[in-house]
């Protein structure tokens, strides 16, 4: 299974925030949408990614004052991205190697989706189930 199939199933909803928005706004968006990371964009290009872990770090570093600081202070700027054709195994490699749980999907310089570790696990389970089913049919046909 690849990113294209995963996006078809989950939809290409991208929840993003501006680098100038506050950490408090970001926390409210994460909580309201029940998600773990936001794509940070200035409207034209990908500026970074901000996850719940960055907000925890911000609070540990600056205390309550962190809530009024801009997203740009705590986001990760060097974002690892994936493409439409990447397989679940490739996504697992990227997430494990980079120790993060989110991958924006980029095409022609535009973010077209966001894959979370939950999406990858779901896709991998359905792949494994399909493989088991094929194996059962193969054994039964012999
Ligand atoms: P996560 O595990 O996705 O909650 O993120 C853990 C840390 O990795 C946070 O500092 C994120 O900003 C950062 N991060 C998340 N996704 C990516 C990504 N695709 N590329 C680079 N850094 C990321």
Q: Higher model confidence: residue 11 or residue 54? A: 54
pTM for this one?
Answer: 0.92
Report which ligand 1 atom has the smallest distance to the Cα of 52. 4
Q: Longest C-alpha distance within the chain, in Å?
A: 68
Q: Is the CB of 49 under 6 A from ligand 1?
A: yes
Task: Choose among 1, 53, 8: nearest CA to 26.
Answer: 53
Atom of ligand 1 nearest to the CA of 103: 19
Taking only the tens place, the pLDDT of each residue in 7-48 is 999 887 899 999 999 999 999 999 999 999 999 999 889 999
**For residue 81, which atom of ligand 1 is closest to its CA?**
19
Question: What pLDDT score does 96 carry?
Answer: 98
Per-residue pLDDT tens for 59-110? 999 999 999 999 999 999 999 999 999 999 999 999 999 999 999 999 999 9
List the domains of the chain with CATH numbers. Answer: 3-141 (3.10.580.10)
Nearest CA to ligand 1 atom 11: 51
């Amino acid at each position: 299974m690849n990113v294209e199939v995963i996006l078809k199933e989950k939809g290409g909803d991208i929840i993003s925030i501006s680098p100038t928005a506050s950490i408090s706004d970001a926390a409210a968006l994460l909580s309201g949408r029940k998600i773990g990371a936001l794509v940070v964009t200035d409207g034209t290009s990908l500026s970074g990614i901000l996850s719940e872990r960055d907000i925890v770090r911000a609070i540990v570093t600056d205390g309550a004052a962190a809530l009024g600081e801009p997203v740009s202070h705590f986001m990760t700027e060097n974002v690892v991205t994936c493409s439409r054709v990447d397989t679940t195994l490739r996504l697992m490699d990227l997430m494990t190697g980079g120790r993060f749980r989110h991958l924006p999907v980029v095409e022609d310089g535009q973010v077209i989706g966001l894959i979370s570790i939950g999406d990858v696990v779901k896709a991998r389970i359905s792949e494994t189930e399909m493989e088991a089913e094929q194996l059962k049919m193969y054994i039964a046909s012999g």
